[in-house]
């Protein structure tokens, strides 16, 4: 019985790359997340996925981002970078 490795940084890199390639189109982001869900284990990496969709990268205990300002490890397609209006936040919530 072989156990799978837990690699949240590999998961993060895959999700962030896809989000960045999708551009500003929330529909393309939703399609990417749907398609990737069949390949990646969203349940296993739920905390990491939540961090990315809300804050743009993985978070360390205490809430600081674990990306060292490396643009390949972070995305601006998240709630923290959304316009500060009700409709924009609702649209991001619907994608998540």
Note down the domain range covering 47: 8-91
- For the residues 60-75, what does the mean pLDDT come to? 87
In a domain? residue 83: yes
- For the residues 55-79, what does the mean pLDDT come to? 88
3-state secondary structure (DSSP) of residue 65: strand
Q: Which pLDDT score, from 0 to 100, does residue 31 have?
A: 93
**Residue in 90, 80, 84, 38 with CA at minimum distance from that of residue 57:** 80
Q: Angle at CA 39, nearest 5°, toward 43 and 69?
A: 75
* Residue 19 or 68, more confident: 19
In a domain? residue 1: no
94 confidence band (pLDDT: 50, 70, 90):
confident
CA atoms within 13 A on the CB side of 2: 2
**Residue in 25, 20, 18, 31 with CA at minimum distance from that of residue 91:** 25
Q: Which pLDDT score, from 0 to 100, does residue 83 have?
A: 86
Percent of the chain at pLDDT > 70 equals 97
List, in order, residues 6 or more apart from 65 with CB less than 8 Å away: 55, 56, 57, 58, 59, 74
What's the rounded Cα separation, in Å, for the pair 90 and 58?
A: 22
Residue 43: pLDDT over 70:
yes
Q: Which pLDDT score, from 0 to 100, does residue 96 have?
A: 65
In a domain? residue 41: yes
In a domain? residue 96: no
In a domain? residue 33: yes
Overall domain count for the chain: 1
In a domain? residue 81: yes
Percent of the chain at pLDDT > 90 equals 45
For residue 46, how far is the Cα from the chain centroid? Answer: 10
């Amino acid at each position: 019985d072989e156990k799978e490795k837990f690699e949240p940084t590999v998961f993060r890199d895959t999700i962030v790359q896809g989000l960045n390639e999708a551009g500003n189109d929330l529909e393309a982001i939703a399609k990417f997340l749907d398609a990737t869900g069949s390949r990646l284990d969203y349940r296993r990496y739920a905390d990491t996925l939540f961090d990315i969709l809300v804050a743009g990268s993985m978070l360390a205990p205490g809430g600081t981002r674990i990306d060292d300002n490396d643009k390949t490890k972070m995305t601006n397609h998240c709630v923290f970078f959304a316009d500060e209006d009700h409709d924009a936040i609702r649209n991001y919530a619907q994608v998540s």
